[in-house]
């Protein structure tokens, strides 16, 4: 299997079609707010989110992303509704980005990097493996990469928010949304595997069976 197919498979494990459940309501709000009053746009986007959840329930499909989309658009739409200002829709996003930066940076400072926790929770790998001196640096560096990206997004969105540049906010959030997240995940995976290889630590499978060196190292999954 070539590296391209491997990366695509890894991305599929994180990104599925169901993520659209969380992406559609915000897009509906932003489009509707261009033609309708902010309050009506907020109501419509929440209604769309509820409709998506209802469809998933009828089809007996997972509701996780639909629920996340409902919560997200309800909070953001609520800010816009109460403030009567479309730009207020982005306040929760700024709060979320700021919280992410604080938590990610804090995890690096205490040497328990966020990237390691994310991998542990999504893959179920033994958390002790991530804290090895020949494994941890890869996850520390990837977490710093995430922190810089989130910090840049926070800076740009906050600047545009203060200028009440709605078109700019929509453009930046579109570019720095799913497209940028896919880019970040791809770079994180490629760099992470490369870094683990150069750290020369054991792969997770070798760690689990307590294999003695020399190790083959982590060749798939980060």
Q: Can you tell me the mean pLDDT for 42-60?
A: 83
Average pLDDT, the chain: 83
Q: Which residue has the higher pLDDT, 195 or 7?
A: 195
- For the cut 90, the answer to whether the pLDDT of residue 122 exceeds it is no
- For the cut 70, the answer to whether the pLDDT of residue 84 exceeds it is no
- For the cut 80, the answer to whether the pLDDT of residue 155 exceeds it is yes
Q: Can you tell me the mean pLDDT for 104-119?
A: 95
pLDDT in tens, 65-77: 667 667 767 777 7
- Residue among 31, 21, 25, 18 nearest 46 (CA): 25
pLDDT of residue 21: 67
Whole-number percent of the chain with pLDDT over 90: 35
Whole-number percent of the chain with pLDDT over 70: 82
Q: Can you tell me the mean pLDDT for 93-109?
A: 90
pLDDT in tens, 27-50: 787 777 767 777 787 788 888 888
pLDDT of residue 194: 94
Taking the domains of the chain in order of start, what are their residue ranges? 16-84, 93-222
- For the cut 90, the answer to whether the pLDDT of residue 199 exceeds it is yes
- For the cut 70, the answer to whether the pLDDT of residue 17 exceeds it is no
């Amino acid at each position: 299997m070539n590296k391209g197919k491997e990366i695509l498979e890894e991305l599929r494990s994180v990104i599925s079609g169901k993520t659209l459940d969380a992406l559609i309501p915000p897009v509906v709000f932003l489009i509707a707010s261009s033609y309708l009053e902010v309050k009506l746009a907020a109501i419509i986007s929440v209604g769309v989110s509820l409709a998506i959840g209802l469809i998933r329930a009828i089809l007996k499909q997972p509701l996780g992303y639909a629920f996340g989309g409902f919560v997200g658009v309800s909070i953001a739409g609520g800010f816009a509704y109460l403030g009567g200002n479309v730009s207020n829709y982005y306040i929760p996003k700024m709060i979320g980005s700021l919280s992410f930066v604080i938590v990610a940076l804090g995890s690096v400072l205490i040497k328990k990097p966020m990237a390691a926790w994310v991998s542990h929770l999504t893959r179920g790998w033994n958390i002790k493996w991530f804290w090895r001196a020949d494994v941890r640096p890869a996850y520390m560096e990837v977490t710093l990469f995430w922190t810089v990206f989130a910090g840049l997004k926070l800076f740009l969105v906050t600047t545009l928010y203060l200028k009440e540049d709605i078109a700019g906010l929509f453009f930046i959030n579109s570019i720095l949304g799913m497209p940028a997240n896919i880019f970040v995940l791809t770079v994180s995976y490629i760099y992470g595997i490369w870094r683990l290889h150069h750290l020369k630590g054991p792969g997770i499978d070798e760690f689990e069976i307590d294999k003695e060196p020399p190790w083959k190292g982590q060749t798939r999954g980060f």
